[in-house]
């Protein structure tokens, strides 16, 4: 981790480059993935029979072509995208224990229509 681009892409991707592969597999409306969570619109839920597998797949697609690093606390990984977006993956979130992917666009120069969000992957269909 931290060497080369995730997925051996050969170049540094932006989050908008990865959007087509995400929207082909995951529900996407008005800049958000999944359904609105209980606490706020920024917290989202994607239901799956296999939440960890689904969360990892989502992260791999979102972070494709990013520079990947381990979190300093050892609880996950994150990727820095070419546009400045940071995408993180934790198998166990601190809020409810579900796998989670955060899309942080605060420093992004070109995130397209994607909005800041935390996505929890929960059991169900």
- List average pLDDT for each run of 10 residues in the chain, which is 125 residues long: 76 94 96 88 93 98 96 96 97 92 96 94 89
Q: What is the pLDDT of residue 118?
A: 96
Question: Would residue 91 count as lying in a domain?
Answer: yes
Q: What is the pLDDT of residue 117?
A: 97
Residue ranges making up the domain that contains 21: 15-123
Number of domains in the chain: 1
Q: What is the pLDDT of residue 1?
A: 52
Q: What is the pLDDT of residue 15?
A: 95
Question: Would residue 97 count as lying in a domain?
Answer: yes
**Cβ-proximal residues to 115 (8 Å cutoff; 6+ apart), any chain:** 30, 31, 32, 42, 103, 105
Question: Would residue 63 count as lying in a domain?
Answer: yes
Q: What is the pLDDT of residue 85?
A: 98
What are the angstrom distances between the C-alpha of 98 and each of 50, 85, 123?
A: 11, 23, 9
Q: What is the pLDDT of residue 3?
A: 64
């Amino acid at each position: 981790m931290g060497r080369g681009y995730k997925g051996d892409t050969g170049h540094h991707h932006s989050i908008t480059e990865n959007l087509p592969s995400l929207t082909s597999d995951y529900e996407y409306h008005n800049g958000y993935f999944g359904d609105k969570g209980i606490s706020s619109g920024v917290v989202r839920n994607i239901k799956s029979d296999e939440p960890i597998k689904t969360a990892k797949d989502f992260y791999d697609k979102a972070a494709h072509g990013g520079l990947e690093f381990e979190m300093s606390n050892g609880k996950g990984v994150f990727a820095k995208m070419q546009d400045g977006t940071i995408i993180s993956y934790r198998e166990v979130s601190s809020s409810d224990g579900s796998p989670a992917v955060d899309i942080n666009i605060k420093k992004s120069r070109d995130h397209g229509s994607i909005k800041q969000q935390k996505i929890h992957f929960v059991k169900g269909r």
